[in-house]
Structure 1
């Protein structure tokens, strides 16, 4: 490792998954670690703290956190938080965990961001590269998955790292540089953190900030926000589902191609993808362009994509019970993702939607529900507001559920024979669950219970 922190006092703010990984990496790099957590950790986290024997504080960030040479903040903590601001005023360097990981990493990083599809694209890239004989570790903001700080320590100079990175993580980069940077799309999201679309898009575009002309930038050529906000210095590889491209990757809706200097090479028929929906054709194109930049050949990319089965909580088929297919899309936390997921299915669909909103316009998703769904079962804090808005669209086939388990039972009763129940919330989980994974697991659990009844 070229990056060492022996003799450095380092504080980590936040004890989530990435914060714990950052603390572990700091320790390996030789730093004296102090951990500061705003909340009251659960038993598992406290057991972890005690096993690591880190100096720590919980229940708030105090002046103890500022007795440091380096402050590493977790993604959930705002860069302008009081503790981070105080640290800067005292001359303490403040970075995020992906910046720390980058400084320690020996392997090149393929970084993927965007509003929707980034988890799937990251996983696809890792799947392709590993199938093409390149050792690629996969993780980052991906859940379930391993934080980038863990991967940075494990990966050697001959390996590759495919990492999902969020706008929250990109806000705190300094030198972070991706050999290949991918932006899947940009639509409104996280307005509970960012002041609006402009600020959100600027944070996403920081993924290109430190790239050089010898690096690669994979961009969605069909997305106006990407075109407007992303101006990389790296070599641009566009991907498109709407038109042919001279380089990068494109699809005519039937087949998928890589393009280089205007010459097209077929990857595979789009119908042979296991993951459903037009948005997953886009995801496969982005992953193909990124993998080709690293030397993978079209036929090998196609062979790998044929065996890609998807990612948990992303249009994940859970089971078929009494002829009804149940699909878990708990990762869907914004209305644009909800609309895309609903468009992926033909035939009668009962949608389970709702949760805690993020200050976004739910209109696009509600319009898709009104035009495509057989019925909608609504949950969480937003359920009554969504019911009213759907009623204004003339859609009255709604039910309100007090729990996710009740919602699954209601949806089963409303579904048509050989139809689909799609759990695609379009909202965050925090009104009912700790995260989207726990929400998705609860959906899975109830479906599997139904299969045994």
Structure 2
């Protein structure tokens, strides 16, 4: 991609916009970074060669526009930018055009981050020059200067990012699963699914696409003709990677080969078995030995805020699954918990349908404590026949759960919603929940100085 002497406007001064601006400036581009907020100030780490303008989203006429993923697909701003820009791309597309290294990409509704970091751990054992990034929180363009042709990139790619991909070609791509999500961003479930399918738009016959064989929405998709397709399943032995209830298997050169026993994978939930199968299948497609995948998966630790045990207090286990920002992810967390369950759920609106989730809550939980903007819509979906408590804040929800919980119960923060009604992010919500539980643990040992509560929390999450 020609950058030197070319004019670019990067739209949005978030972390990915900052990374894109700096990467372009380093390579000799004439770069302008714009931010819609009129009160925005110049980012401290912005390359001094970049011009910064607050109070607008519009590029200079004829510029290549690098669009923030925060601009919704349904937003009229997209059309306004396209009307004056020479081309509109996103940070992921920009990275693809500049990167010397091949990319293995992961998308889907849920399990993206876990599958990405699983595959990243496997790849790093095989190739120390592996970069893992993307929608995980570290933009791909931040890693550009570290990469060579011998490097390997493992990239989590969101539906937002895919809407601005044009030539983006991962050599291996995974679609973990599909469920209704981000309808307010895309305008419809059909548009959301179409965005996910863009991950394979530029793939060729020498590339490999990995799909869930268990997902009904993916099953209804028209399959692309170009990339090779391999599938994974929690039940179907005809898939290329499958689980028989005790062992994870890969089919290689027509032979079934054991990846690992279920008890060797240190993660809760069947959904994490599916994530491991997908990651191992992608590694195999890239030529990484099965033994390397096994070694990495056996040592894999859960990511923060994903079914992470915090503490057991007076016989009650507290688990943080704040990353469950939609009903499908929260349902997976509920199914991963054995024994009596108190669910803490709620958050900000995303135009979600909670009907099926409500039925699962009735079936699998003893009590549902609902908070946040969606508390009433969740209560309606669950129904008046179930033991449901409706409060306003997460703090109130934790205190209600403490009163209601009995020894042997698990209290699960499984919000089924985004966090932006009361928190900065799902991570912030999870941190607040962890701090609240830490306070409960300390209060249950009033003679201690807090060290024993900290030790208990650390041992539970190890």
Normalising by the smaller structure, the TM-score range is: over 0.9
Alignment root-mean-square deviation, CA:
2.0
Query: Displacement of 1:219 after TM fit?
Result: 0.7
CA offsets 1:90-147 (integer angstroms, 9 cap, x no match):
35211011000101111111110001111110010001111334532111001xx311
Asked if 1:22 corresponds to 2:20, the answer is: yes
Q: Is the 8 A contact 1:132 1:301 kept in 2?
A: no
CA displacement at 1:41 relative to structure 2: 6.4
Which ranges of structure 2 fall in alignment gaps of 5 or more residues?
444-462
Which moved further from structure 2: 303-312 or 29-38?
29-38
1:305–1:339 Cα change, 3 Å: same
The one-character-per-residue Cα deviations of 1:11-36 (angstroms, maximum 9, x if unpaired) are 11112221221112112222122111
C-alpha change, 1:259 and 1:57, in structure 2 (3 Å) is same
Q: Which of residues 101, 111, 120 is equivalent to 2:105? A: 111
Deviations along 1:322-345, whole A, 9 cap, x unmatched? 332221111111111111110001
Deviations 1:403-430 (A, max 9, x none): 2122222212222213211111101111
Give the secondary structure class of the aligned counterpart of 1:412. helix
2:122 is matched with which residue: 121, 125, 128? Answer: 128
Q: Quick check: 1:374 aligned with 2:366? A: yes
Contact 1:313 1:437 in 2 (8 A): yes
Equivalent in the alignment of 2:391: 401
In 2, Cα distance between equivalents of 1:274 and 1:442: 25
For residue 96 of structure 2, give the secondary structure of its aligned residue in structure 1.
Answer: helix
**2:212–2:232 Cα contact (<8 Å) kept:** yes
Distance change >3 Å, CA 99–CA 114, structure 1 → 2: same
Per the TM alignment, residue 180 of structure 1 is displaced from its structure 2 partner at its CA by 0.5
* Structure 1 position 430 matched with structure 2 position 420: yes
**What SS does the aligned partner of 1:292 have?**
helix
Match of 2:450 in 1: none
Q: CA deviation at 1:49?
A: 6.1
- The Cα shift of 1:83 comes to 4.5
Q: Are the structure 2 counterparts of residues 401 and 60 from structure 1 closer, same or farther at C-alpha, using a change threshold of 3 Å?
A: farther
2:206 corresponds to which of 214, 217, 226 = 214
Instruction: Tell me by how many angstroms 1:46 deviates.
Output: 4.5
Q: Structure 1: any 5+ residue segments left out of the alignment? A: none
TM-score computed with the length of structure 2 as normaliser: 0.91
Q: 1:36 aligns with which of 27, 34, 37?
A: 34
The alignment of Structure 1 onto Structure 2 pairs a total of residues equal to: 442
Aligned position for 2:236 = 243
1-structure distance, mates of 2:422, 2:287: 45
Give the aligned partner of residue 8 of structure 2: 10
* Partner SS state of residue 202, structure 1: helix
Match of 2:227 in 1: 234
Q: TM-score w.r.t. structure 1 length?
A: 0.92
The Cα of 1:75 is off from its aligned counterpart by 0.7
What SS is found at the alignment partner of 2:124? helix
